[in-house]
Chains A and B, each alone.
Chain A
Amino acid sequence: MSLVFYISSFIAILSTIMVITRYQPIHALLYLVVSFLALAVTFLSLGAPFAAALQVIVYAGAIVVLFIFVVMMLNLGKQTAQQEKEWLQLRAWLGPSILSLVLLAEMAVLLLQDDPTGMPAAVVTPKQVSLSLYGEYIIAVELVGFLLMTGIVGAAHIGKHKKKSLHRFLQTYPNLN
């Protein structure tokens, strides 16, 4: 199982790097999907099939689709690719990557100190997930519910148009869509 873990995390890291370095936004988003799928396999190899399924349904299946939706609507052409190319200069990414390489080295050292195969092998069933969600963490779940509800109400408020009548003849049919 640990081999699966390492392969999928390697794919996740590689595809995330590809997300950053692509010039064409849609190609970057495709690599983002691959990264999420790799993350789902990582969850699966750690014995969390429920989290893996949710990762695919919510992130890969809904959120990235919405990203692609927006990018399609914006109709970004070659100009954007050119702009991206100009932004991705060596001196812009050199500093952050050296710093994160240091972090990576530290993490590798810490991981190699312990037994690397000592990952939890027990599978978390959907029942356990829901019992802890609606038992132990019920307040957190409800608070998240409130937060999402405010988001929806806000979006509905912003998205609501005041009905504009362009002509007095049209005012006589207020319910006409």
Chain B
Amino acid sequence: MTVMQHIWIVLGVLFVFLNIAAGLIWVERRLLALWQDRLGPNRAGPLGLFIVLADTLKLFFKEDWIPPFADKWVFILAPAIVVASVLMGLAIIPFAPGIVVADLNVGLMFFLAMSSLGVYSIVLGGWASNNKYSLLGALRGASQMIAYEVFMGLSLMGVVMLSKSFNLGDIVAAQKDMWFIVTQPVGFVIFFIAGLAETHRLPFDIPEAESELIAGFHSEYSGMKFGMFFIGEYLGISLISAMTVTLFFGGWLGPAFLPPVVWFFLKTFFFIGIFILMRASLPRPRYDQLMGYGWKLLLPLVLLNLLVTGAIALWLKS
């Protein structure tokens, strides 16, 4: 691959995913409205599509206020971390044969590393705001994300065992005959739940639970700094959906009448839809319920999954 081709791939991935993240503003509102039996944004432009433009313009022109009691530099740094870490995570996803930004042989580990760095945006944002609601949100966010990172990593180890590689291209290639959703259903369910918790989306949005904590860790943020958290969340949804597709649903694989990239994005959009359906249909658990559910139910389950997968893999080998 020439350097120029590589640069085009990087720019293409950035362009496509930033646009998906912005477009999700409209998609989410329309889908929520559909499921709640109302119309949703339908005034600006065809089908209300210009809501994206209106919303972005509004965010850009709002006063970008830094509270005098906040720790200025950390306050500015926090929203940048979430977007940067998620965009870095997108680098290792293979969209089609040969279309990948960084074909690392520790790709999966790189994804886990980047998603674990995302915690800092919540923790630092909440701390730097110097506000008790923000601090409570940050404390919740930190413990929730550290806990669910453990299950996220462990739930993927079954996939690694079966495909014998950390490279995502190899993992997709290993699903040529059978998708890993068939052989690793428990791993998929736990990965998806952990992904919900990592992106702190409803039902696991307790770091920002607006009915108790105003807006949690980003209570003090306004203007485009809030916009970064907003876009970071949508980018996180896209990243987790793309990872789910790559790891469990065969990535770009599909019948030959459509090109591989189209298959990849079709499957990804399906999971983005599931994310939004989760938000529309499930209530938020209490904080201690969330932690108890993680450590007492998911951890034993994921360890059991790992044990059984290992045993079967050894049995098939001998």
Residues of B within 8 A of A49 (CB): 104-106, 109
Q: Do A68 and B127 touch across chains, with their CB atoms under 8 A apart?
A: yes
A49-B105, A50-B106, A66-B146 are contacts. A72–B120 as well, Cβ < 8 Å?
Answer: no
Residues of A within 8 A of B127 (CB): 26, 68, 72
Binary CB contact string for chain A from 41 to 84 against chain B (1 if under 8 A, 0 otherwise): 00000000110111011001110011011001100000000000
Q: Do A69 and B113 touch across chains, with their CB atoms under 8 A apart?
A: no
Q: Do B120 and A33 touch across chains, with their CB atoms under 8 A apart?
A: yes
Q: Do A65 and B146 touch across chains, with their CB atoms under 8 A apart?
A: yes
Q: Is B183 an interface residue when CB atoms closer than 8 A count as contact? A: no
Residues of B within 8 A of A26 (CB): 71, 74, 124, 127
B151 CB to closest chain A CB (Å) equals 13
Q: Do B105 and A177 touch across chains, with their CB atoms under 8 A apart?
A: no
Q: Is A27 an interface residue when CB atoms closer than 8 A count as contact? A: yes
Residues of A within 8 A of B139 (CB): 69, 72-73
In Å, the complex CA distance between A27 and B73 comes to 10
Residues of A within 8 A of B105 (CB): 49, 123, 125-126
Chain B interface size band reads 20 to 34
User: Which residue of A56, A65, A123, A177 is within 8 Å of B123 (Cβ)?
Assistant: A65
User: Which residue of B77, B112, B149 is within 8 Å of A53 (Cβ)?
Assistant: B112
User: Which residue of B74, B106, B119 is within 8 Å of A65 (Cβ)?
Assistant: B119
A9 CB to closest chain B CB (Å) equals 20
A13 CB to closest chain B CB (Å) equals 22
Closest to A63 in B: B146
Q: Do B146 and A68 touch across chains, with their CB atoms under 8 A apart?
A: no
Residues of A within 8 A of B110 (CB): 53
Q: Do B116 and A69 touch across chains, with their CB atoms under 8 A apart?
A: no
A158 CB to closest chain B CB (Å) equals 17
A50-B109, A53-B106, A68-B127 are contacts. A61–B119 as well, Cβ < 8 Å?
Answer: yes
Q: Is A18 an interface residue when CB atoms closer than 8 A count as contact? A: no
B146 CB to closest chain A CB (Å) equals 6
Closest to B122 in A: A65
Residues of B within 8 A of A33 (CB): 120
In Å, the complex CA distance between A60 and B287 comes to 25
Residues of A within 8 A of B126 (CB): 72
B216 CB to closest chain A CB (Å) equals 14
Q: Is A30 an interface residue when CB atoms closer than 8 A count as contact? A: yes
**A to B CB contacts below 8 Å, 10 in the list:** A26-B127, A30-B74, A52-B106, A53-B112, A56-B113, A57-B116, A57-B153, A62-B116, A72-B123, A126-B105
Residues on B facing A (Cβ under 8 Å): 71, 74, 77, 104-106, 109-110, 112-113, 116-117, 119-120, 123-124, 126-127, 135, 138-139, 142-143, 145-146, 149, 153, 164, 166, 288
Residues on A facing B (Cβ under 8 Å): 24, 26-27, 30, 33, 49-50, 52-54, 56-57, 60-62, 65-66, 68-69, 72-73, 123, 125-127, 177
A62-B116, A72-B123 given; name 19 further pairs at CB < 8 Å.
A26-B124, A30-B124, A49-B109, A54-B109, A56-B117, A57-B116, A60-B113, A60-B116, A60-B117, A61-B116, A61-B119, A62-B149, A65-B119, A65-B123, A68-B123, A68-B127, A68-B142, A73-B139, A177-B288
